[in-house]
A and B are shown apart, each in its own frame.
Chain A
Amino acid sequence: MTLGHSFESVMEAAKLGADWAWAVLYGEIAGPVTGFFRSRGVADPEEAAGDVFFELARGLMSFEGNEDSFYTFVFVIAYKRLLVENRYSNRKLRTVLADRVLDRLHDDAEVMGVIAEHQVPEEVRLALEILTPEQRDVLSLRIVGGLSIDQVAEVLNRGVKKVKAVQRRGMARVRSQLPAETVLA
C-alpha cells in the first residue's frame, strides 16, 4: 500500500460512503488481491476478488487500524475466500501457478525483461510444482500480496517463526531447481 499519510482520511471518507475513497482503496488492493487468487489457481480471480470487496465493504465500518492492518484485514478475507474455493471445488488444486509463470517465461521474455535471451530451464517448472500448498500460501502472500512476515503470520494464523521457516524452505526448494546460470545481470 502506498497511501501513507493520506490513509486515515481516505478510510474516514470511505466509512462515510465517499465514492472516491472506495475507488482509491480498491485501486490499491485490486491488483494484489486478484493476483493472489490468480497465483493460487483460482478459476475466476476477479470474481473472487469481488467477493473479497463485498465482505470488505460489510466489515469496513468496524475496522480500526493503520494501513498495514488494513492490508492484513483484506488478505484475511482473501485467504478465507481461497479456503472456500479449495474446499468446495471439485477440481483438484491446480498448478496454474507453475503453468502461467512458465508460459510467461517461455513466450514473453519481456515480462521478465531481465532474463531476455535466457532459455528457461525446465527446473523452474519443477521448482514451482514441488512447493507445498503451505509454501505457496506464504510465498504468494509475501511476493504477490506484498505482505510482511508478520502480516502473513496473522493472515495464516501461524507464528512468525513458523512462517519464516516455511518461506525459507520454500525458497530453498525453488533455489534447488534453478541452475546457477539463471543469475541475472
Chain B
Amino acid sequence: MRSERALREDMWSELIDRDLDLLLDGKQPHNTDLAPLRSFVNMLGSFGATELSPGFPEDHAADGAAMARARLSDTPMRLSTGRRLAFGLRRRVTAAATSLMMIVGMTGVAWAADSAVPGDWNYGLDRALESVGIGAGGTEERLQELIVVRENGHVRGVSIASGSGADSVASSDDPVVGLEKAAATAVATTRGSQRAIDIGGAVSKLLAYLADTEKAHGPTISELAKEFKQAQGSSESNRPEVNPGEDNRPDHAGKPASPGNR
C-alpha cells in the first residue's frame, strides 16, 4: 500500500502536469508560481514561427508530388534535387563502400542484391545498398520489383514492397547500421546454398569493416581496403557464382530479372 506522502506527491505531480498543459496551450496556469515560465514557452515556441527561405517548402512539395505520381505510374521519377544522397553521412559511406567493392571485387554481391525482389534472401541487402547510393534503386526499380513479385503471386513480397515507406523510415537513421542489419538478415536467410552463405559471410565482413571505420574515424579507405583484402584472402574466392536468373540478367542495373527466374 502506498504511503500518504507518495499519494500526495502523485497528486502534486498531476496538478503540475495540468498546469503545464494549460501553460503550453497559452492559458493561465492555476499555480501562479509557474507564470514566469510563459516567457520561456513563448521564446521556444517562436522557433516554429521563424521565416523560411523563399521557395521552401514549395520545391520540396513539388518533389513529393512527383514521387507520389511516379509511384502510381510507369513514369520514371525526376527529382529537382539529388535528395537520395541528401545525408552527408550517406555520401561518405557510399564512397567507402564503393571503394571497397571495387578493390576487393565484391561488385558481384552488389549486383546480385540489386536484382533482388521482396521475398528474396538478399532483398534487404538490396535496399540497404540503395540507401547509401549503391545500386539503381528509385521508383522505377520499386515498380519493377512489384511487377515481378505480383506476377510470381508472392503476396508477402507485395506487402513488403508497398510498405517501403515505413521501411525507409526505419533505415533512415543510420546507413551503416542498416547495412549491418541487412547483412545479418542475408546471413540468417541463406541456409540453403553454400554460394549464398559465402556471399552473406563476405558481405557481413565488409559491413563490419565499414561500421568500425565509421565509428572509430580510424584508418583511411585504402588502408582499410588493404586490411580487408588480407582478411579475405583472394577476392576472387568471394565472388558469387551464378545468381538465379542470370540468363535473364537485365541490360542495366536496377531492373530485376524476369519473374520466371526467381
Binding site for B on A (CB under 8 A): 14-19, 21-23, 25-27, 30-32, 34-36, 38-39, 46-47, 49-51, 53-63, 76-77, 80-81, 83-84, 87-88, 97, 100-101, 104-105, 111-112, 114-115, 124, 127, 139-140, 142-146, 149, 164-165, 167-168, 171, 174-175, 178-180, 182-184
Secondary structure of the A side of the interface? Answer: helix
Which A residues are in CB contact (< 8 Å) with B40? 124, 127, 174, 178
Determine whether the beta carbon of A61 is less than 8 Å from that of B162. yes
CB-based nearest B residue for A77: B169
Which B residues are in CB contact (< 8 Å) with A171? 20, 34, 37
- Assuming the contacts A168-B20, A174-B40, asked whether A144 and B169 have C-beta atoms less than 8 A apart, the reply is no
Secondary structure of the B side of the interface? Answer: helix
Which A residues are in CB contact (< 8 Å) with B50? 31, 34-35, 38
Determine whether the beta carbon of B52 is less than 8 Å from that of A46. yes
Determine whether the beta carbon of A58 is less than 8 Å from that of B164. yes
Choose, from B64-72, B113-121, B194-202, B229-237, the stretch at the interface: B64-72
Determine whether the beta carbon of A51 is less than 8 Å from that of B86. yes
Which A residues are in CB contact (< 8 Å) with B86? 47, 50-51, 54
Determine whether the beta carbon of A53 is less than 8 Å from that of B65. no
Q: Is B192 an interface residue (CB 8 A)?
A: no
Task: Please tell me the number of chain B residues within 8 Å of chain A, measured between CB atoms.
Answer: 61
Give 15 A-B contacts (CB < 8 Å), ordered by A residue.
A31-B52, A35-B49, A39-B44, A53-B57, A58-B67, A59-B165, A140-B44, A143-B44, A164-B17, A168-B13, A175-B34, A182-B36, A182-B39, A184-B36, A184-B38
Q: Is B247 an interface residue (CB 8 A)?
A: no
Determine whether the beta carbon of A17 is less than 8 Å from that of B52. no
Determine whether the beta carbon of B57 is less than 8 Å from that of A27. yes
Q: How far, in angstroms, from A57 to B84 measured CA to CA in the complex?
A: 12
Determine whether the beta carbon of B89 is less than 8 Å from that of A81. no
Q: A58 touches which one: B56, B66, B168 (CB < 8 A)?
A: B168
Interface hub of B41, B45, B163 (most chain A Cβ within 10 A): B45
Which B residues are in CB contact (< 8 Å) with A49? 56-57
Q: Is B218 an interface residue (CB 8 A)?
A: no
The minimal Cβ–Cβ distance linking A48 to chain B, given in whole angstroms, is 9
CB-based nearest B residue for A90: B217
The minimal Cβ–Cβ distance linking A152 to chain B, given in whole angstroms, is 11
CB-based nearest A residue for B16: A168
The minimal Cβ–Cβ distance linking A125 to chain B, given in whole angstroms, is 11
Which B residues are in CB contact (< 8 Å) with A35? 47-50
The minimal Cβ–Cβ distance linking B162 to chain A, given in whole angstroms, is 7
What 0/1 pattern do residues 62 to 99 of B give for CB contact below 8 A with A? Answer: 11111111111000000001011011110000000000
Determine whether the beta carbon of A21 is less than 8 Å from that of B65. yes
Q: Is B173 an interface residue (CB 8 A)?
A: yes
The minimal Cβ–Cβ distance linking A78 to chain B, given in whole angstroms, is 11
Q: Is B220 an interface residue (CB 8 A)?
A: no
Which A residues are in CB contact (< 8 Å) with B174? 84, 87
Determine whether the beta carbon of B172 is less than 8 Å from that of A144. no
The minimal Cβ–Cβ distance linking B75 to chain A, given in whole angstroms, is 10
Which A residues are in CB contact (< 8 Å) with B193? none
- Assuming the contacts A58-B67, A77-B172, asked whether A104 and B61 have C-beta atoms less than 8 A apart, the reply is no
- Assuming the contacts A23-B61, A112-B39, asked whether A31 and B165 have C-beta atoms less than 8 A apart, the reply is no
